[in-house]
Every structure is written in structure tokens, then in C-alpha cells.
Amino acid sequence: MLPMSCTPNPHLIFATNFSEACHAAIPMVANWVDSLQARLTLLHVHPRGNGVQAARALDSFFAESAHYPNSERQLLSGPAATGIAEFCRQHPQAMLVMPPSVRSYLPRPLHVSLRTEVLRTAATPMLTMLPDTRAIATQATAGGHVACWITGEESHLEHVREAAALAQQRGAELHLLFVLPEVSEGLMIEALYSNRPLAEPAAIRMLDDIAARIGNGVRVRVHLGTGSARPTLARLLRDSRANVLVVDRDTTVRKQLLRHSFASALRDSPCLLVSVPSGNAAERDRLPPPNARKPLDRLAAPVASLHRQRFATKSLGAWLALDGTGNGWRSPLPA
Amino acid sequence: MILRESVPLQRLWPRTFKRLMLLLAFDCAVAGLYVFLDWHWLAFDALPIGTLGSALAIFLAFRANAAYGRWWEARQLWGQLVNTSRALARQALTALDVDPDNARHTALRSGIVLNQVAFVHALRCHLRRQNPFPELVGVLGHAEAEALRGYGNIPNALTLRVAEQLQEARALGLIDSLRWSALDGSLTTLANIQGACERIKNTPLPRQFSFLPRMLVDAFCWLIPLALVSGLGIFTPIASALISFTLIAIDTASQAIEDPFENTVNDTPMTALSRGIELTLREMLDQRKALPEVRAIDGFVY
């Protein structure tokens, strides 16, 4: 499966319930349509028997998109999560745009997030954001910084491919982010059942290998931080000045006792989130075993990517020299 | 813009709940200490606090008036934009001596009107910090929209383009100096409207007007339970919370309307107005494009 951003005219599916959050997301969607020259589908799934009112509301929502070169409105009836997921299944090359619901600040013990339900089942990447969407409306249409969070627990590299494609499409830099855990007694137990790198050399080796697989024409930077995921990730995102963060779907959705919820580590993310589901098993790019002692067999890197390869290696070497405290990576490169 | 009769209270809740919860906890503490631990020294005389309330009312009214003034000016400016757009289109369609068989003449005439439609959409996007280009491609065509990419201020570039079209019309002998002057006057009005909208957008309400009422509201709300507790006893939190909610709601409501171009429900309904202008101007051009009107959704129109 090609990453959405690699297709000639990417397809954005904007699922809306006409909330204020959806209205607030319109400038961001307009930016994406322009920068990617994307097709736009406004999708609304309404309860059965409410069709006339829903059609009228859909016509009035994001009215300016009636002038967009490739835009359409799609009205479906039935359960919202199922309807959106089914529509996405019919358009596997698209990207679903789904803003969060407006925060009510009232206790909702039985509330099940529609966004999380759709995220869990949709076959396409999902673009979403925090409730405070105003900060992201003014982002540049081109250039900028795309970040990709690698937890080390992923079984595939679809999200890295998507991030690289997006960075290439927008002429942006790609930042690979990795958060190492604090050293504690618990790490010894985690090492028994987890494959993710628990020490800096293993993390560097894994990121180096991932960077080597990224195609030509993308400038890659690597950021490492140590600490708990939520604040460290927020700090790395600030340092990288990323506009967009690409993550694996299994990282975004966390299973709780009776329901699934949005990962708390991403709640402080100051930028847009793209959550990428895994593709077909046959097409997956397997991650290298991060704790492998032997050097990994690598494919011969094309000439155009050698510069980037050296660049990444130099950065990581500089990191070792610069930050011996283990508190994080300080970029040795000019901003 | 909110069209529904009642504003649901849960709309106010996200902006007010932190302050209200803190005050409610304080109210309960004051009432508990006064009633159960006999801390009677907590009770204040209500008279000075009432005087502070009067001063606060003046501040709040002043601030609410200033915020409403900005909101209403924005609405008036967009009303003026509706009128000026219609006037400019009428002038372009009737004041130019166009030969109906000459394609260049008719294209020039309709180009002025379509650029005016594009101006309205571009101004809306400019004020909401939204990318106008996908929309401009639909209105003007790809080549003309792409030619605008080099400009930072797209609506201003569109007024310039209309002025250039008028200059061309004058060079072709389609218009005399007197009529050109009238059309150019309409363009100047458009520039004034744009400038006034930008002034509202870029100049916030003076921070003193925001900070002082907010600080006074907070101070007053903290003092209310101390003034009420001797009379109401254990019921103090109920009365105090109601009074606090009223004042905080007024403060919050005026904050919400002070910026009318922020793409919120409190905005001037620019999307609906610009669609209305487009429908009217296209009717004048006899281009009845199948565009629906923008209606309110759940009582909110954007």
C-alpha cells in the first residue's frame, strides 16, 4: 500500500458532526488541500430518519469547499463509527480527518470516544488534533518539520514510510523521535518481555537502521530523550519544532479495562497527529530486532541517500559526545 | 453568530468551571467554619462589599460595551461590504459600454464581477487566517488564482486587479472619466472596509479593559461569602455561587465577542454573508450556479 502522501492527488475524508471543533479545523483542512492538491470529501453519518435536516446541515458546513476543485459531500445513515470506518474501507488510499469533540469539562464516566472507536477500526491513516486547534491553523503550507515517534514496540514501519512521504511532499525535514525509559529496577523485568531498546546504543542502532531505509530526498534528524513518555515527547516535539507528528495506530489507542482510549502520552502534543494503521502483513516493513548484538545486514544505500546516511551517523556520534548525561539529545546541527 | 433563543449553559461551563469550582470550595469552607466552628470573625459587613459591587458593575458594563462595539462594528462593515459589492457589480454591468458580440468586452465586464466575488471570499479567509487558494481556483480558475500566490495580502491584490481591469476598459473606450471615477470610488470603499476589518482584527481590546474587570470580579467573588455568611449561614455557598456565576458569565461573554473574526460561533457570519454576496452577484451576471445558501446549523451560523 502506498503512503497517502505519495499518491498524485491524495484524498482527504473530513468526517464531521458540525461541532465547533470541526469548524475550527476548517483552516487546517484548507491548508492541507492546498499543499497536497488533495481531493476532499466531507462525510457526515446521521442517525436513521434524520436525513433531510442532515443534508441541509452538510450543505451549510464548510460552504467554501463547494468551490474546491475536487470536493464532494457524502451523507450516510446509521451508527457513526461503523459508517465512517466502512467509508474508509472503500477508500483505502485516503486519509481520514477527524477533530476531537469539544471538551465539556464535565464527568463522563460512560463516555466512549467516537474518534477512538473510528481510529481503532478505520483502515486509513487518521489526521487529528487536540481540542485547541487554533494554534495549528496558521502552519505553513509547505516546508516545516514532520516528526515520527518510534516507540520500539511497533511491528512495522508503515508510519515511518507515511511520515517520510509526507515530509517529501511538503519539502519538510523528518524528525525521528525516541523516548528511552528512566533507568530503574523495573527495566530488568521489561527487558524480559519487551523488544524495545532500553539503552542508548540499542536505540541509536535501531534509529540508524530506520533512517537508512527512508527514501531519497528527505532530510532526517534524530532526537532522543530520557524520561516518562508524555513530558519527554512534548519536549522533543518542541525541540524539533514539528508541525505534524506521525505515530503508529497501536501507539495512539490504548486498551483499558472496558474501553479503548487515546494515549495519554499524546495529549500534550502541540501539533497535528497522523495515526497510521498497519498495512497488509505482506507489505509490512519489519523493524530490526533492536537489541541484536550483531550488526544488521543492510541493503546497499543509493548514492543520493548516502549524504543523509552520513548526516544521521554524524549527528548520533555528536550526540554521544555532547550529552553524556543521558538527559537527551542536543542537536549539533544549525537550526 | 448565535441565532437560537437560548444559549446552553454547558457552552459557558468550559470557560468558567475552574473559577467557579474554586470559589464554591471557598464558599463551603467559609460556611462550614462559621456555622460549625463558630469562627464568627469571618463575617464582614455587607455594606462596603456592596459598594465594591457597584464599582464593579460600572467596569463590567464598560467592558461589555466595548466588546459589543467591536462585534457590532464588524457586522456593520460586512453589511457595508454587501452593499458595496452589489453597487460595484451593478456599475460594472451597466456603466461599461460593452459590445455584446465582442468577447473581450464581455469577458472584461464579467471579470470585474467575478473578481469582486473572489475579493469577498479572500477577505473572509484573510481575516480568519485561512488559505484562500483552493476556493479562488474555483471562482477565478487555476491560472488567475495561481497568479495571486506572490501576494501577501490577497484581497488587496484583487482590488488592484479590478482597478487594472477598469483601466483597460478606459483604454478600450468602454468608459469615460466620470464613470471610471464612480467605479474607482467603490473600490476605495472596499479598501476602507478591508482596512477597518484589519484594524479590528489586529488591535485587541486594551488589556487594562480585560484585566481590571477580571481581577475585580475575582476579588468580589472571594469577598461575597464573607458578607453573606452571617445572614445565610450554611446556605451561603448557594447564594454566593449564583452571584459569582452571574458575574463570571458576563465577564466571559464579553470576552467571547470582543474578537469577531476568529472562526468561532461568536464571529460575524462571514461564510453566510460571502455566500449571499456571491449568489446575488452571480444572479446579476445571469450565472445561476447551483450553490445552496448557508443556513444555521443547530442555531449557529458561521
Cell triple for A132: 485547541
pLDDT score recorded for residue A135: 47
Min CA distance, A162 vs chain B (Å)? 24
C-beta separation of B228 from B239 below 8 A: yes
Nearest CA in chain B to A25: B263
Taking chain A (335 residues) in runs of 10, the rounded mean pLDDT of each run is: 63 91 89 88 88 88 90 91 91 88 74 82 84 51 80 81 85 88 72 75 85 78 86 87 87 77 76 80 46 37 35 32 34 32
Work out the angle between the directed axes of helices B46-95 and B236-257 (0-180°, nearest 10).
Answer: 30
Which of B10, B131, B277 to probe by mutation at the A interface, max A CB count within 10 Å?
B131
Which distant-in-sequence residues (6+ apart) come within 8 Å of B51 by Cβ?
none
> CATH class for domain A1-101+113-129?
alpha beta
Structural domain boundaries of chain B?
A: 9-284
Cell triple for A266: 499524546
Cα separation, A125 vs A119, in Å, equals 8
Cell triple for B77: 462593515
Structural domain boundaries of chain A?
A: 1-101+113-129, 139-335
Residue A275's identity, in one-letter code, is: S
Is the Cβ pair B263, A31 closer than 8 Å?
Answer: no
Is the Cβ pair A103, B298 closer than 8 Å?
Answer: no
Is the Cβ pair A106, B13 closer than 8 Å?
Answer: yes
Answer whether A34 touches B (CB < 8 Å): yes
Rounded percentage of chain A residues whose pLDDT exceeds 70: 73
Answer whether B291 touches A (CB < 8 Å): yes
pLDDT tens digit sequence for A111-152: 778 888 888 888 888 888 876 545 454 455 566 888 999 888
Answer whether A61 touches B (CB < 8 Å): yes
The pLDDT profile of chain B, 302 residues, written as one tens digit per residue, is 887 777 777 777 888 888 889 999 999 999 999 989 888 888 888 888 888 888 888 888 888 999 999 999 999 999 999 999 999 999 999 988 888 888 889 999 999 999 999 999 999 999 999 999 999 999 999 999 999 998 999 999 999 999 999 999 999 999 898 999 999 999 999 999 999 999 999 998 888 877 888 888 989 999 999 999 988 888 999 999 999 988 888 888 888 889 999 888 888 999 999 999 999 999 998 887 678 888 888 888 88
Is the Cβ pair A27, B131 closer than 8 Å?
Answer: yes
Helix (H) or strand (E) holding A115: helix A114-121
Cα separation, A155 vs A285, in Å, equals 8
- CB-CB: which of A57, A66, A67 is closest to B297? A57
What fold, for A139-335?
Rossmann fold (3.40.50)
**ipTM of the complex, rounded to two decimals:** 0.84
- CB-CB: which of B10, B138, B301 is closest to A67? B138
Give the 3-state secondary structure of residue A144.
coil
Is the Cβ pair A104, B294 closer than 8 Å?
Answer: no
Answer whether B10 touches A (CB < 8 Å): yes
